[in-house]
Amino acid sequence: MKKYVSSIALVFGLLVGGTSAMASEEGGLPSAGTNVNDQASLQRGAKLFFNYCVGCHSLKYARYARISEDLGLSEKEVMENLNFTGAKFGEPVISHMPEASGQQFFGKAPPDLSLEVRAKGADWVYGYLNAFYLDPSRPVGWNNTVFPNASMPNPLWELQGLQTAVMKADDKEAVEKLELTQPGKLTPVQFQQATRDLATFLEYVAEPAALQRQRYGIWVLLFLAGFTLLAYMLKKEYWKDVH
């Protein structure tokens, strides 16, 4: 009986503690510490995405109506604060930028971010958003230590400030660290929280069903726990006279 209870408790703990706050030490990436069950973080991340990212990037597999339902926002809040393209409530999130304009300014159209976290992980997205630095040699004036020679400028520079690279003494082409040379509107700690919120929102967008699956999973585990207890008691009743 103790083995059954211990196993159920272990699985239950893993489920309710569902978070992607797993360190990526192997890849040299910082831990994003995201938690898609944190609705406040999801709402802040949505605000950041629609104010700083949707101008170039779309979420073609996400609809305003679904975002409204999952994030606890009313239709009015979504349409007034998150919808800047004139799309209908039930339509998917499409960026402002025509594909031809993206190719003209950045060499290729900015990618859709619906599945970005599924493809690269929340830690990668979080690390990437924190790793921009000024680089006059690049066409857009920016570079990134997580994704070197990226064509994308830093969309959050006003919040983060300006970072410059300190190169390694033995390798002038390798970045040793980044230094904040001009502060932004947010402190470094506040900016890390902001990018964590943004990564959390993109993690949710990559798999919206995860929220419902986890809620249903708790009830399934509770049912299995109760059924296991009843089955054990029934087994004891059947075998009590057998010696």
pLDDT of 54-83, one tens digit each?
A: 999 999 999 999 999 999 999 999 999 999
Tokens linked to 218: 């708790």
pLDDT tens-digit readout, 129-176: 999 999 999 989 999 999 999 889 999 999 999 999 999 988 878 999
In the block, which residue shows the tokens 């004891």? 236
Quote the pTM value. Answer: 0.77
Q: CB under 8 Å to 115, separation ≥6 — which residues?
A: 61, 206
Domains, the chain, in order of start with CATH, read 2-239 (1.10.760.10)
pLDDT tens-digit readout, 100-133: 555 555 667 789 999 999 999 999 999 999 999 9
The predicted pLDDT at position 88 comes to 95
List the beta bridge partners of residue 175.
167
Tokens linked to 22: 């797993």
Phi, psi angle pair for 171, to nearest 5° = -150, 95
Q: Which residues are annotated as a binding site?
A: 53, 56-57
Asked if residues 99 and 109 have their Cβ atoms less than 8 Å apart, the reply is: yes
pLDDT tens-digit readout, 181-235: 999 999 999 999 999 999 999 999 999 987 766 666 677 788 888 888 888 888 8
List the beta bridge partners of residue 182.
162
Asked if residues 194 and 201 have their Cβ atoms less than 8 Å apart, the reply is: no
pLDDT confidence tier of residue 8, bands split at 50, 70 and 90: very low
Q: Which residues are annotated as a binding site for heme c?
A: 53, 56-57
